[in-house]
Amino acid sequence: MTDDWELVEKSVTKEQLVDLEKFADRADKWEHNPEMQTPDNWVVLKIPTDDDPMYKVLAGWSGGYLDGDSWRLNSGISIVFEREDSVDFYGNSGSLYHCRKGSYGLAMSTAGIYEQLSSKVELMPEDTDWSKLV
């Protein structure tokens, strides 16, 4: 198995590597990373721009008895680490979305949001090669 950092060095710029250094300790200690989000369901949206398209994670969480469902749209995907059972999306704002592959898709918390955006965005298919997204 190829080391994640070896893959990164082959596919990102020096500026992106500098950004990665900020997250290296956090990635190894996810439970202590205040910037990490682990959604119950997620999709990636492709947003057309004048230049290259932008990709964003639309993430949802199922609420409990006392709190309702919630959702977030990240600031834009800057770096991706794809693993066997999960994908880590680093956002332009410094956030980290740790997404389980088995939970890809829209749910109650995100379906309405996607419907409002659907004329302006494209929903990426589940079988997308996430490592080649950016």
- pLDDT tens, 73-92? 999 999 999 989 999 999 99
129 part of a folded domain: no
Q: Which residue, 36, 35, 33, 42, is CA-closest to 101?
A: 42
Number of neighbours of residue 46 by Cβ within 10 angstroms: 14
Query: Which domain, by its residues, includes 19?
Result: 4-124
Q: Is 50 exceeded by the pLDDT of residue 31?
A: no
111 part of a folded domain: yes
Of the pLDDT bands very low, low, confident and very high (cuts 50, 70, 90), residue 30 is very low
Give the chain's domain count: 1
State residue 63's pLDDT score: 85
19 part of a folded domain: yes
| Segment 34-82, tens digit of pLDDT | 568 999 999 999 999 999 999 999 999 998 778 888 999 999 999 999 9
94 part of a folded domain: yes
134 part of a folded domain: no
Distance CA 88, CA 97 (A): 6
